[in-house]
Amino acid sequence: MAGSQPTPATEANGPERMTGAQAVVRSLEELGTEIVFGLPGGAVLPLYDALFDAEKLRHVLVRHEQGAGHAAEGYAVASGKVGVCIATSGPGATNLVTAIADAHLDSVPLVAITGQVGSPLLGTDAFQEADIRGITMPITKHNFMVTDPDEIPYALAAAFHIASTGRPGPVLVDIPKDIQNAVIDFNWPPTIDLAGYKPNTKPHNRQIAQAAKMIAEAKRPVLYIGGGVVKAEAHKQLAEFVEATGIPVVTTLMALGAFPQSHPLYLGMPGMHGSVPAVGAFQESDLLIAVGTRFDDRVTGDTDTFAPLAKVIHADIDPAEIGKIRAVDVPIVGDAKRVLSELTDCFSESGKTKAPDIALWIERLQGLKDRFPRGYDKHADGTLAPQYVIETLSRLAGPDAYYCSGVGQHQMWSAQFVDFETPRHWINSGGAGTMGYAIPAALGVKAAHPEAEVWAIDGDGCFQMTNQEITTAALEGFPFKVALINNGNLGMVRQWQTLFYDGHYSHTKLGGETYVPDFVQLSEALGAVAIRVTTEEEVEPAIQRAREINDRPVVIEFIVGEDAQVWPMIAAGSSNSDIEYARGMRPFFDEEESAAESPAAISETIETAVAEQEGN
């Protein structure tokens, strides 16, 4: 037990003597870590022995290492701090890989600490040995194997620095068991010297000036805002820039909440299941001002036809993203907060640049918002509409609640029908599209904000992957709530099979009306209060009841129709101009519309009107 470990010396007697495992715990505490998520095993037992005596560090025992990783992600996204997860060697470490890959694609600051077999056994195929450093090399910002116990404080301090600066991301620290057991002189703080790692946060003045000039001359500009704005805490600077210029805003899936959705200049989310005003604005724009975004394929569709009339200003902390997908007219490398602040200064009263005159453009976009509002059709067969469930949840829980989602139809409905007003209240798996993300992520969010209302909006497919973490929530005291959308199928796959595979529903049926598994009984067995809802009249009372229960997790199973689909939609790889507002209804080239509704025609009409206006 912990009593067998060296007793740390007092500071008055010089450096403290402790084991490498104790140095890990102490380093985490010095770095401000309050909570870690993990599961013990043989190669990490020395670290868990040290955690036994930790005074400032809370450990949350998950039921699966993947849950530890996603919980750390949810904690990081909701708090803005570095999330920490711990696993043992071999399968424990490899169970973290999905969460690490998820954090990599969504730029989440994550530090994963793994135990490793003893140094003399490395490379011998020892019990539970896996080259986790080699496995995770492509999906981490950096990773360490600690071979000298004296380097533990440095490795952890460097890991936190790398994970949280520049473009955030995951870092792995692999520590052999003998290194954890070794006794060292603990010194803090270590000097961090990372040759070649110097993220550029200050944008170049010339690029800012060029961008301001281009913005002032634009007739149809659009702000294309990505998750980097959230990570840079730049939402206030974004609002100030919009106030100074009057330019409309589109926020990606990862940036929902970066700009208030109630604002009249907000157009919605772009992409495969984006709003018609957002997609149409891209297609008709003459200038995209892209900040903290990477031109993801789910946004662009066919890149050759994406925003065909637009010049591009692209600002990002990561220079590798600029010009990677779309040619850029003005590249800006820098922190989103500084970029937006310096651009705003150009249009301030003391600045020299006049805001663009875009009244006709705003009128055009308002017309799209009026013609193609958010909405859905209630089912003629009487089944409960999932959109109604999520819309009602948003209305009752409000924008102060935190919403986590899995991946699939329920994720897209959540993005469409929850009203986001502030950043970091929307937590989901974007780049990786990881099924099973919502439940453990909600655990992490609740750990970050214990007093807040936290909802996991999940599908029956995703729920069956990580529902064991409800037990963690019940036993550890993190009573989040779950809105389980049960359509008895892998819903998004079924939608694609309906639209593109002639209704060949190959291996997508999960159970549905047979209640296998019975999610109410399962949730109760896991430690939650469980409610089943089958009619529209039951939705609001069930949500209100769940909101009143704060001592245990709550799972509401909503039985919905299996044929509900997500609209609008752009087929994968298609042009954004081919967006369908509803099945068979194409806003820009509908049979009832003429070619005058094409982006080029709209562009010409607006430019002609502007020219006439300027001539008068």
pLDDT tens per residue across span 133-167: 999 999 999 999 999 999 999 999 999 999 999 99
**Is the same domain home to 427 and 485?**
yes
Indicate whether 605 pLDDT > 80.
no
In the chain, what percentage of residues exceed pLDDT 90?
A: 88
User: What are the pLDDT digits (tens) for 493-526?
Assistant: 999 999 999 999 999 999 756 678 999 999 999 9
In a domain, 162, yes or no: yes
Phi, psi at 426, each rounded to 5°: -120, 115
pLDDT at 12: 47
Residue 382: pLDDT band (50, 70, 90) is confident
> Which of these, 429, 79, 420, lies nearest to 259 by C-alpha position?
420
pLDDT above 80 (res 594)? no
- HSE-CB for 128 with a 13 A CA cutoff: 19
Q: Is residue 11 part of a domain?
A: no
Q: Looking at the 3D structure of the chain, how many domains does it have? A: 4
- DSSP track, 231-257: HTT-HHHHHHHHHHH---EEE-GGGTT
In a domain, 3, yes or no: no
- CATH code for position 334: 3.40.50.1220
| pLDDT at residue 515, as a whole number | 74
User: How high is the pLDDT of residue 2?
Assistant: 36
Distance separating alpha carbons of residues 160 and 164, to the nearest angstrom: 6
Whether residue 569 lies in the annotated active site: no
Query: How many helices (H) does the chain have, and how many strands (E)?
Result: 24, 20
The residue-averaged pLDDT of 374-383 equals 83
Per-residue model confidence (pLDDT) at position 11: 46
Q: How many CB atoms lie within 10 A of CB 521?
A: 11
- pLDDT score, position 608: 73
On the question of pLDDT at 444 being above 60, the answer is yes
pLDDT tens per residue across span 48-96: 999 999 999 999 999 999 999 999 999 999 999 999 999 999 999 999 9
pLDDT of residue 52: 96
Instruction: For residue 545, give both structure tokens.
Output: 């009841």
Q: Please tell me which residue in 29, 34, 128, 421 is annotated as part of the active site.
A: 128
Quick one: residue 10, left, alpha or beta (phi over 0 = left, psi -120 to 50 = alpha)? beta
The C-alpha atoms of residue 309 and residue 361 are separated, in whole angstroms, by: 14
Catalytic residue among 65, 129, 151, 240: 65
363 in the same domain as 235: yes
pLDDT band at 5 (very low <50, low <70, confident <90, very high): very low
Give the pLDDT mean for 378-383: 79
- Look up the pTM and report it: 0.94
CATH number at residue 39: 3.40.50.970
Which of 52, 56, 127, 521 is catalytic? The answer is 127
Pair (551, 596) in one structural domain:
no
Give me the catalytic one of 81, 177, 219, 337.
177
Q: Which residue has the tokens 């044929």?
A: 563
Q: Is 177 annotated as catalytic? A: yes
In the listed set 158, 186, 214, which residue is the last one of a domain according to the structure? 186
**Residue in the block written with tokens 């039985």:** 559
Look at residues 593, 599, 568, 564 and name the one whose alpha carbon lies nearest to residue 582. 568
593 and 484 inside one domain: no
Residue 7 confidence (pLDDT) above 60:
no
pLDDT at 593 over 60: no
Residue 445 has pLDDT above 70, yes or no: yes
pLDDT 10s digits, 453-499:
999 999 999 999 999 999 999 999 999 999 999 999 999 999 999 99
Give the pLDDT confidence score for residue 241 in this predicted structure: 98
The verdict on 244 and 283 lying in the same domain is yes
Q: Comparing 585 with 175, which gets the higher pLDDT? A: 175
Judged against a pLDDT cut of 90, whether residue 379 lies above it is answered with no
pLDDT of residue 614: 61
Where in the sequence is the domain holding 595, given as residue range(s)?
A: 576-614
Do residues 173 and 230 share a domain? no
pLDDT in tens, 309-326: 999 999 999 999 999 999
Asked whether the predicted pLDDT for residue 598 surpasses 70, the reply is: no
pLDDT band at 615 (very low <50, low <70, confident <90, very high): low
User: Minimal CA–CA distance to 479: which of 466, 469, 465?
Assistant: 469
Per-residue pLDDT tens over the stretch 91-122: 999 999 999 999 999 999 999 999 999 999 99
Known active-site residue 295: no
Question: Would you say residue 8 lies in a domain?
Answer: no
Q: Are residues 147 and 209 in the same domain?
A: no
What is the average pLDDT value for the chain, to the nearest integer?
93
492 is catalytic: yes
Are residues 49 and 111 located together in one domain of the fold? yes
Q: How far apart are CA 592 and CA 585, in angstroms?
A: 10
Question: CA-to-CA distance for 164 and 158, rounded, in angstroms?
Answer: 10
Catalytic residue among 476, 492, 497, 569: 492
Least Cα distance to 242 among 219, 215, 217, 269 occurs for 215
Same domain, 604 and 515: no
Tell me if 29 is assigned to some domain.
yes
